[in-house]
Amino acid sequence: MCGIFGIINAADAARKTYYGLHALQHRGQESAGIVTTAYDAARKRAIMPAIRNFGLVTDVFRDDAVFQHKLAGDMAIGHNRYSTSGSSTNAANIQPFVVHYRNGNLAIAHNGNLSNATQLRQLFDLNGTLFQTTSDTEVILHLIAQSRQFRQRDQILDAVSQVEGAFSLILMTDDKLIAVRDPHGFRPLMLGRIDEAHNQGKPAWCVASESCAFDLLGATYVREIQPGEMLVMEKEACETGNFESYLLKPTSQTAQCIFEYVYFSRPDSRIFGEMVDKVRRKFGKTLAHEAPAPFDSKGKRTIVIPVPDSSNTSAMGYATELNKIYCHEGERDHFRFEFGLIRNHYVGRTFISPGQNARELKVRLKFNTVEGVLKDRIVVMVDDSIVRGTTCRQLVKMVREAGAREVHFRVTSPPVISPCYYGMDFPTPDELFANQFEDIDGMAAWLGVDSLAYLSEEGLLEAVRETNSIPPNYCTACFTNKYPVPVQVPKETEKEAFEFV
List interacting residues with ligand 5GP (CB under 6 A).
263, 307, 310, 383-392, 424-425, 433
- Please state the closest distance from residue 262 (CB atom) to Mg ion, in A: 10
3-state secondary structure (DSSP) of residue 38: strand
Residue type, 368: N
The smaller minimum CB distance to Mg ion, of residues 309 and 376, is found at 309
Residue 385 binding result from Mg ion, ligand 5GP, none, given CB thresholds of 5 to 8 Å by partner type:
ligand 5GP
Q: Report the residue number whose CB is nearest to Mg ion.
A: 310
Q: Is 314 in the site for Mg ion (CB under 5 A)?
A: no
- Please state the closest distance from residue 46 (CB atom) to ligand 5GP, in A: 38
- Please state the closest distance from residue 65 (CB atom) to Mg ion, in A: 38
For the sheet containing 176-181, what is the strand order?
97-101, 104-114, 165-173, 176-181, 229-234, 244-247
The smaller minimum CB distance to ligand 5GP, of residues 32 and 219, is found at 32
- Please state the closest distance from residue 389 (CB atom) to ligand 5GP, in A: 5
- Count CA within 13 A, CB hemisphere, residue 458: 2
- Please state the closest distance from residue 311 (CB atom) to ligand 5GP, in A: 6
The smaller minimum CB distance to ligand 5GP, of residues 251 and 480, is found at 480
Residue 387 binding result from Mg ion, ligand 5GP, none, given CB thresholds of 5 to 8 Å by partner type:
ligand 5GP
Residue 425 binding result from ligand 5GP, Mg ion, none, given CB thresholds of 5 to 8 Å by partner type:
ligand 5GP
Question: Annotated catalytic, 206?
Answer: no
3-state secondary structure (DSSP) of residue 80: strand
Q: Which of 2, 392, 475, 478 is catalytic?
A: 2
DSSP H helical segments within 276-417, as ranges? Answer: 276-290, 312-326, 358-366, 371-374, 390-401
Q: Is 394 in the site for Mg ion (CB under 5 A)?
A: no
- Binds Mg ion (CB under 5 A): choice among 84, 93, 310, 468: 310
Of 435, 439, 471, which Cα lies nearest the Cα of 452?
A: 439
Residues 6 or more apart in contact with residue 330 via CB below 8 angstroms: none
Residue type, 107: A
Contact 212, 23 (CB under 8 A): yes
Residues in the chain: 501
Residue 139: phi and psi, rounded to 5, are -60, -30
Residue 205 binding result from Mg ion, ligand 5GP, none, given CB thresholds of 5 to 8 Å by partner type:
none
According to DSSP, the residues that pair with 342 across neighbouring strands are 368
Contact 11, 218 (CB under 8 A): no
Binding-site ranges for Mg ion (CB under 5 A): 310
Residues recognised as catalytic: 2
